[in-house]
Structure 1
Amino acid sequence: MTTREILTIQLGHYSNFIGTHWWNLQESNFTYDPKNPSEINHDVLYKEGENMRKQVTFTPRLLIADLKGALGYLSEQGSLYDTESDNQLLWDSTKLEITSAEPSLRTSFIQSLNEFDGSVDSENFNFESDVKSWVDYLSPQFHPRTIMVIKQYLHNCTQRPFNIFTYGRDLWSTEQFFDNFTDKIRLYVEECDLMQGFQVLMDSIDGFAGLGASCVQHLHDEYGKSILAFPCLDFNNAEPSASDLVKVVNTALCWQHIGENSSLYSPLSCGQVGWPFGADARKFENITYSPELKYHSSAILATALDTLSLRYRTKKYPSASLSDLCADLNKLGRKAAATSLSLPFPMKMKMDLIDVLDEFEGSLWTSLTPNCDIPMDNNMQSIALRGISENRIKRPIHEASKQISKPAYRCSSVHEMMTLYLACTCHASATYLSNIEAPLKITLPYPKIFNNNVTKDGNIAGWPVGTDVNSIAVMAGMHSGSNVAAMYESLLKQTKRIRSIKKFHAFTDSGLEEDEFVECVHNLTDCKEAYEDYYI
């Protein structure tokens, strides 16, 4: 099978929270049984290598950037390869003054990963209080090329924060960062046989917005491959403050530039409003989570990414590609799409898919894009479903009873039945559906956010079952429709509160011109109008 490789790039602290859950999920869903091979082609996002001991390694094809102090115990070179040098033999240790910092503490979960007996007792961990950074629940091993530490800025520093779009853009322009980071990209690309493109996650409310926009422009200019970008916004329910408008400007500039250079982008947030004022979090019927905890909210966003990306990662659809997804949704110059999630997909106990769909009322999905609710109608959409077995679509004919009178009874597969359902319920929509039978395995360190009516295999019970959930069915999608206009309109409304960018000295002092800001506002207006129905 020809592997069509993808390079993933994560820029920013919250993006790395999401990415960590994503890579954890992928590795927990690896299948090692040759009699039951995986339906997912892991070579799309992973690369095979060899360490210094000639041991075969399998690591994410990944580049990460974060600020100094955010990595805690984790070395910039990772821990998979022996990178210790013998340089100490070249120096006279009696003439050296060695200064060392206190080693960063490891959470009990990270310590357990290094225990040889492999035992992991969930009762020993309290992730909600222990997790301060994404490295505190990171399971996979990284290639030494993966991590890039931005040494010019310190994580959580209030004296010199990395909080302005132009700071990130200026950082990209520095010779030291640009050469180092782009060399790493080039080395990854050169290792690929048939590369299909890039996935880029970036924080959009701080300096990483500028860094991410510059990175996407470089990828566009240098490689000409498909670029799927996800500007991420952490949930914030704090009281409004002056810094909120700074985050609004960062987000607006970010969207403008990645809209010009990416193939498709979808803003991600667990907040209903994202710009970022006090607002409610997105609600799911069968899960309860704390949206203010990055560890919780990022898990939900990662679950959506892991599922919607199945379209171009499965062996079942070897010809499906990232470029197909982008081309389906960026019609008429519309570069933005909304992301949806159904977690878990509501398969009730002892019920077949035909009955679940027949009884279901309302929307099947919840939006994960701020200020954008996704209707069932009038969308270009790509939807991926996992975790529903083919033997759960309907009863055999001698047990069918009332099922046999339903038109969907003629369907012979999950794909066929879901396609029929979406055709009947999503009026005036064009839908591309992907599905695999394997459920999403849920293992530590995924947060325990499922309600007590969810069974261990992800079914929905009508009573408390009080058990750990081991696997679930999930549906996620990307949608391009007129409701995306509301997302632009809300950001435009906040951006227009700024009469002149000159009042924000941090932007002007770092090189942002008034004309550039005015152009950004006009861009938001154009994008909003592009999604309004009467412009179609």
Structure 2
Amino acid sequence: MTTREILTIQLGHYSNFIGTHWWNLQQSNFTYDPKHPSEINQDVLYREGENMGRQVTFTPRLLIADLKEVLGYLSEQGTLYDTAPSDNQLLWDDAKLEITNAEPSPKSPFIKSLNESNKTVDSETFNFENDVKSWIDYVLPLFHPRTVTVIKEYLYNCTQPFNIFTYGRDLWTTKQFSDDFSDRIRLYVEECDLMQGFQVLVDSTDGFAGLGASCIQHLRDDYGKSILAFPCLDFNNAEPSASDLIKIVNTALCWQHIGENSSLYSPLSCGQVGWPFAADSRKFQNITYSPELKYHSSAILATALDTVTLRYRTKKYPNASLSDLCADLNKLGRKAAATSLNLPFPMKVKMDLIDILDEFEGPLWTSLTPSCDISMDNNMQSIALRGIPEDRIKRPIHEASKQISKPAYKCSTVHEMMTLYLACTCHASATYLCNIEAPLKLSLPYPKIFDNNVTENGNIAEWPIGTDVNSVAVMAGMHSGNSIAAMYESLLKQTKRIKSIKKFHAFTNSGLEEDEFTECIHSLADCKEAYEEHYI
């Protein structure tokens, strides 16, 4: 089977929180039993290699950029390909060599436990909510030496933090960074036999917004492949401050440039309103989480990404591609899409899918896109469902009872039944549905966010269970519809509070012109109009 490879790029601290959970989930769902092969083609996002010791490696096809201070113990070259230098490699007199060692950065208890193979890992041992300070504190996969790029010019907490869009854009134009990062991209691309495109996660409220926008433009100009981008916004429940307007300008500029150069993009946030001021978080049935913890909120966003991208990662649909997804949803100049999640999909104990869908009330999904509540109707949408076995769709005919009278009883597969349900409930919508039978397996360090009525295998009970959840059924989707106009309207309203960009000296001093900011506002207004019903 021909693999159509994808390169993933993560730019920014919160994007790396999300990406770390995503790669952890993929690693937790690897299948090594030849009698039950995986339904997912892992080669789409992973690469096989060989280290200096001729050991076969399987690492994410991934590029990461973050500031030096958050990388802690993580070596830029990684540990998977380390080899100790032999004596004859030294070109100096080691007797006269003075070596100064920096204090090693501490590792979290969980990371320490991974290096102790003889130690039994117990979930009760770790307090991730307190231990996790950075995404490196819970990362499972080992990286290829070209994966990690350290930005040494800036720090998060200093007199000139990396918090302005133009700082990131200027960083990309420096020969040292641009040449190095673009070479890393090229080396990954040249390894691929039939590359289909790029997935880009980028923080949209700080300097990484400008870095990501420049990187995406480079990808479009040099490779011409499909680019699916996810501008990420960390949930913020702090009181309003002067820095909020700076984050709003960064976000507006980020969306404008990503919209111009990507094939499709979908903003991600666990906040109902993404713009940086106090607001409510997204609510999920059967889940209780702390949205202010990056460790929690990023796990929810990663779960959505891992499921919605199944469309072009499964063996069941070998001809489905990233370009198909983008082409389906970016009709009529609509480059933005909303991402949704249903976690866990409410498979109740001792109930069949036909009955669950028949009694389902309320929206089928929860939006993960800020200031956008996804309607059930008038959408172009791509939906992925995992974790519902074929023997859970209905009762055999001799046990069917009232099920026989339902039109859905004629359906013989999960795909048929869900397709019928979506056709009946999502009026005037064009839906692409894919599904796999395997549930999403959960293991450490995925957070314990499920309520105590969720069983070990993710079913919903009407009584407390109080057990660890090891797997769940999940549904996620991407939707392009009129409801996205409200997202642009909300961002425009906040951006227009700024009468002149000249009042923000950090932007103007780093090269942002008044005309460029005005053009950004006009571009967002055009995007909003493209999603309004009367415009079509």
RMSD in angstroms over aligned alpha carbons? Answer: 1.0
Give the aligned residue type for 2:219: L
Q: In the TM superposition, what whole-angstrom CA distance separates every residue of 1:28-62 from its partner, at most 9, and x where no partner exists? A: 00000000000000000000001111111000000
Q: Does 1:49 align with 2:35?
A: no
2:483: which partner in 1? Answer: 483
Percent identity, please.
Answer: 84
Residue ranges of structure 2 left out of the alignment (5+ in a row): none
Counterparts of residues 265-280 of structure 1 (less than 5 Å):
265-280=265-280
Give the aligned residue type for 1:110: I
Q: Does 1:22 align with 2:22?
A: yes
Q: Does 1:141 align with 2:142?
A: yes
State the Cα distance separating 1:94 from its structure 2 match: 4.7
State the Cα distance separating 1:93 from its structure 2 match: 3.9
Equivalences, count:
535
State the Cα distance separating 1:271 from its structure 2 match: 0.3
Rounded to whole Å, the distance in 1 between the matches of 2:248 and 2:86 is: 49
SS in 1 for 2:480: strand
Rounded to whole Å, the distance in 2 between the matches of 1:369 and 1:65 is: 24
SS in 2 for 1:231: strand
State the Cα distance separating 1:193 from its structure 2 match: 0.2
Judged with a 3 Å threshold, the aligned counterparts in structure 2 of structure 1 residues 85 and 176 are, in CA distance, closer, same or farther, namely: farther
SS in 2 for 1:90: coil
State the Cα distance separating 1:118 from its structure 2 match: 5.8
TM-score, with normalisation over the residues of structure 1? Answer: 0.99
Rounded to whole Å, the distance in 2 between the matches of 1:68 and 1:92 is: 31
Q: Bigger CA drift: 121-130 or 82-91?
A: 82-91
2:323: which partner in 1? Answer: 323
1:229: which partner in 2? Answer: 229
Rounded to whole Å, the distance in 2 between the matches of 1:329 and 1:18 is: 23
| Kept in 2: contact 1:345–1:473 (CA 8 A) | yes
| Kept in 2: contact 1:77–1:83 (CA 8 A) | no
Rounded to whole Å, the distance in 2 between the matches of 1:336 and 1:96 is: 57
Q: In the TM superposition, what whole-angstrom CA distance separates every residue of 1:133-167 from its partner, at most 9, and x where no partner exists? A: 0000001110001000011112x222120000000
SS in 2 for 1:153: coil
1:120: which partner in 2? Answer: 121
State the Cα distance separating 1:86 from its structure 2 match: 4.9
1:12: which partner in 2? Answer: 12
State the Cα distance separating 1:234 from its structure 2 match: 0.3
SS in 2 for 1:70: helix
Rounded to whole Å, the distance in 1 between the matches of 2:238 and 2:293 is: 13
SS in 2 for 1:148: strand
1:202: which partner in 2? Answer: 202
Give the aligned residue type for 1:240: P
1:60: which partner in 2? Answer: 60
Q: Does 1:462 align with 2:462?
A: yes
Rounded to whole Å, the distance in 2 between the matches of 1:528 and 1:94 is: 68
Rounded to whole Å, the distance in 1 between the matches of 2:101 and 2:506 is: 34
2:507: which partner in 1? Answer: 507
Q: Does 1:2 align with 2:2?
A: yes
1:495: which partner in 2? Answer: 495
State the Cα distance separating 1:117 from its structure 2 match: 2.5
Rounded to whole Å, the distance in 2 between the matches of 1:43 and 1:403 is: 41
Rounded to whole Å, the distance in 1 between the matches of 2:92 and 2:523 is: 58
SS in 1 for 2:434: strand
Rounded to whole Å, the distance in 2 between the matches of 1:124 and 1:287 is: 22
Residue ranges of structure 1 left out of the alignment (5+ in a row): none
Rounded to whole Å, the distance in 2 between the matches of 1:31 and 1:232 is: 30
State the Cα distance separating 1:83 from its structure 2 match: 4.7
Counterparts of residues 180-199 of structure 1 (less than 5 Å):
180-199=180-199
Rounded to whole Å, the distance in 2 between the matches of 1:487 and 1:305 is: 20
2:239: which partner in 1? Answer: 239
Give the aligned residue type for 1:285: Q
SS in 2 for 1:355: helix
Rounded to whole Å, the distance in 1 between the matches of 2:262 and 2:96 is: 53
SS in 1 for 2:154: strand
Rounded to whole Å, the distance in 1 between the matches of 2:386 and 2:274 is: 29
State the Cα distance separating 1:123 from its structure 2 match: 1.2
Counterparts of residues 11-410 of structure 1 (less than 5 Å):
11-86=11-86, 89-117=90-118, 119-154=120-155, 156-410=156-410
Q: In the TM superposition, what whole-angstrom CA distance separates every residue of 1:344-367 from its partner, at most 9, and x where no partner exists? A: 000000000000000000111000
TM-score, with normalisation over the residues of structure 2? Answer: 0.99
| Kept in 2: contact 1:47–1:59 (CA 8 A) | yes
Q: In the TM superposition, what whole-angstrom CA distance separates every residue of 1:451-486 from its partner, at most 9, and x where no partner exists? A: 000000000000110000000000000000000000
Rounded to whole Å, the distance in 1 between the matches of 2:385 and 2:103 is: 47
Give the aligned residue type for 2:426: C
Rounded to whole Å, the distance in 1 between the matches of 2:74 and 2:83 is: 13
Q: In the TM superposition, what whole-angstrom CA distance separates every residue of 1:377-435 from its partner, at most 9, and x where no partner exists? A: 11000000000000000000000000000000000000000000000000010000000
SS in 2 for 1:507: helix
Rounded to whole Å, the distance in 2 between the matches of 1:455 and 1:202 is: 35
Judged with a 3 Å threshold, the aligned counterparts in structure 2 of structure 1 residues 85 and 253 are, in CA distance, closer, same or farther, namely: farther
